[in-house]
Amino acid sequence: MAKLKISGPWSGVLDVELDNWTVIMLREEIARRSNCGVESINLICGGRILKDGDGGEKLLDLGVKNNSRILAMRVSTEEGKSLNVELMAEEERSNRLARVKAAATALAKRHANGFLPVEDFNIELEDQSGQKVNLGSETDQRAIMMGLMLHANAKQLIRKGNYKEALEVLIMGEEAFSLCNPKVIEFVDNVSILQIDMVWCYFMLKDIKWLSDAGLRLAKAREGIERAHGKDSSRVRLLQAGCHPELALHLRLELLEGVAAYHSCMFDKAREAINSAQMKYSQLQVPDEALSHVMDMGFKEGEAKRALRMCHQDVCKAVDFLFEERTKREKKREEDIERQKEIKEQKRYGMTPSKKAVDLQRLKELASIGYEKNLAAEALRRNENDIQKALDDLINPETNSFIQNAVESRKRKRQRQTTDAAVDKLVLMGFDRTRAIAAFQAGGSLEQAVNLLSLPDTKSTVDGQPDSVPTASASEDASSSISNIEEIQDMLDNFDNGEGPSTVEENRDSEMESELARELDRASAVSDYDMDVTKEGEAITEYLALLDSLMNSAKA
């Protein structure tokens, strides 16, 4: 029996069995002794509210110990309901954050190590010019991908004004980037932008306790941006063909530096930084006439404003910029389609013993010297994509014969799987299985099989073939008809080939993974710099007024 010291509407000591009592039981007992309703009592222990949970958790499981102090707070029914709603919202937020982190971790792990993608998207790293890059080791790439996904999610939350949750996601993103070798990301600006976004959340939350931390983060961000962008942003200017996409980012950085300086009583430094931010804010204001000219070219208002801001209000440059962006998007769509075809091809070849996909570039090299593609793919698969070992196996008559047998075995298995899947589908439509098998083999596709089975004069004969199916079609080799069945092929892309683990993964949070992937997909080389600076403009006006007020007071 443990003793709990209770204070509140009723004060005293309660004898309880910690491994038997629940929060609900404790609440009911304190309410009874306080002569009030159970719903009007809230319990706090160790600085946190004790929640009822599912009613099965014991006090001992919640960290309540012998001689623990319990604060009982009496609230009105409406206050109790409001608190319950708040607690539910907090719990939902915590669950969502956990899902975001888990999904980002899973995605980064799959896409950084050569595993076969199981999604309808493929995540790859690109530089500012849109070129695919491989940064550092597998661990580094995983850390960068995870950091980028979390940062993209946080930026979406910032746009929605959900700064508290965005800050927590940014902290997770910062932790992810910290796992990467600093030398690998020394000349990219993603970490610096994340630091600026964190301080922006501090500012929007009006959280003064983060002030000292804000100054350190901003100093690191400025150092990182100057290193990544080059002196006077020369590297960005080169990559972006003379455009100034980083202007809004520097505006936010200087504003935050000024705010941090103001609250540290460094008023001269604050005025210098905020005046500089104000100049950039003026440069980012888009004249109506220029906006109208760009929109007349068929562009929407949002993209027209963005282009004009990045091109110093130069209409011709803005239009060129937008057409170039449109070309890049189209090229990316084409590359994505091509990559999906490659992923589909990779899945047909199965996985290496360590669950990696067959390297298509090395496969092309072997195919270019005359080896049949399926045979070369199997040699690479068995040898963990080691092209020299794969070549040795292909040259050796004994291992070559063994590989050929394996390829034929997989082909037959795939054909059986294809046939079984198609027949099962026909049976689900209500057709007899025997007739479905015959129709499928005769028609060569699911659509043809349905057409044959739907003919009014089609009857099953002794040998199982429909009367209306021509003999020549019915006697064709099954492999020639099955190989062209696109309707069923997609269903079999993830099948376990018996020579490695299945590519299908259990317990995936597909909804959250898709959300993270969509946020990344919407990003472009300049999306980090694409900001609506309305709130920055308001803050500049506010802090310049505060500085003027201080100056006038000093003069008085």
Backbone φ/ψ region at 87: left (φ over 0), alpha (ψ -120 to 50), beta:
alpha
Helix then strand then coil, % of the chain, to nearest 5: 65, 5, 30
Q: Is the pLDDT of residue 307 over 70?
A: yes
Q: Is the pLDDT of residue 525 over 90?
A: no
Provide the angle, in degrees to the nearest 10, between the axes of the packed helices 315-349 and 360-368.
70
Q: What is the mean pLDDT of residues 110-120?
A: 58
Q: Is the pLDDT of residue 137 over 60?
A: yes
Q: What is the mean pLDDT of residues 446-472?
A: 57
pLDDT at 479: 33
Q: Is the pLDDT of residue 230 over 80?
A: no
In terms of pLDDT, which residue wins out, 307 or 112?
A: 307
Q: How confident is the model at residue 439 (pLDDT cuts 50, 70, 90)?
A: confident
479: which 2 tokens? 């492999």
Residue 275 exposure: Cα atoms within 13 Å on the Cβ side: 8
The CATH number that domain 2-75 falls under is 3.10.20.90
In terms of pLDDT, which residue wins out, 485 or 375?
A: 375
- pLDDT above 90 covers what percent of the chain? 24
Q: Is the pLDDT of residue 251 over 80?
A: yes
pLDDT at 79: 53
3-state class (DSSP) for residue 219: helix
Q: Is the pLDDT of residue 139 over 60?
A: yes
Q: Is the pLDDT of residue 346 over 60?
A: yes
Cα dist from 487 to 425, 433, 515, whole Å: 11, 19, 27
Q: What is the mean pLDDT of residues 365-394?
A: 92
pLDDT at 422: 83
CA distance 189 to 200: 16
3-state class (DSSP) for residue 72: strand
3-state class (DSSP) for residue 41: strand
CA distance 194 to 176: 12
Q: Is the pLDDT of residue 435 over 90?
A: no
CA distance 44 to 51: 9
Q: Is the pLDDT of residue 136 over 80?
A: no
pLDDT at 70: 87
Q: What is the mean pLDDT of residues 395-416?
A: 87
**What is the per-residue pLDDT across 323-345, written as a single tens digit (0 to 9) for each?**
988 888 888 888 878 888 888 88
pLDDT at 471: 31
Beta bridge pairs of residue 49: 44
Phi/psi of residue 351, nearest 5 degrees: -115, 155
Q: What is the mean pLDDT of residues 353-359?
A: 86
| 472 burial level (CB within 10 Å; 0-12, 13-18, 19+) | exposed
Q: What is the DSSP string of 357-407?
A: BP-HHHHHHHHHTT--HHHHHHHHHHTTT-HHHHHHHHHSHHHHHHHHHHH
Q: Is the pLDDT of residue 123 over 70?
A: no
pLDDT at 150: 92
**3-class SS letters over 394-459:** HHCHHHHHHHHHHHHHHHHHHHHHHHHHHHHHHHHCCCCHHHHHHHHHHHCCHHHHHHHHHCCCCC
pLDDT at 460: 42
In terms of pLDDT, which residue wins out, 236 or 323?
A: 323
**What is the per-residue pLDDT across 9-48, written as a single tens digit (0 to 9) for each?**
888 899 999 888 998 898 889 888 888 888 778 888 866 7
**What is the per-residue pLDDT across 485-509, written as a single tens digit (0 to 9) for each?**
344 444 434 334 444 434 444 567 7
Beta bridge pairs of residue 74: 41
Q: Is the pLDDT of residue 82 over 60?
A: no
Cα dist from 334 to 266, 313, 327, 331, 519, whole Å: 53, 31, 11, 5, 19
Residue extents of the structural domains in the chain: 2-75
**What is the per-residue pLDDT across 41-80, written as a single tens digit (0 to 9) for each?**
888 886 677 877 777 788 888 878 888 888 888 776 555 5
- Average pLDDT for the chain: 79
185, 148 Cβ separation under 8 angstroms: no
Q: What is the dihedral of CA 325, 330, 335, 341, to 10 degrees?
A: 160
Residues belonging to the chain: 556
pLDDT at 451: 83
Residue 223 exposure: Cα atoms within 13 Å on the Cβ side: 7
Q: Is the pLDDT of residue 119 over 80?
A: no
**What is the per-residue pLDDT across 180-212, written as a single tens digit (0 to 9) for each?**
888 888 777 889 999 999 999 999 998 767 777
Strands (E), 89-178: none
Cα dist from 180 to 98, 142, 144, 460, whole Å: 21, 8, 7, 66
Nearest to 488 by CA among 536, 421, 556, 395: 421
pLDDT at 247: 84
pLDDT at 115: 60
- pLDDT above 70 covers what percent of the chain? 78
pLDDT at 545: 94
Q: How confident is the model at residue 130 (pLDDT cuts 50, 70, 90)?
A: low
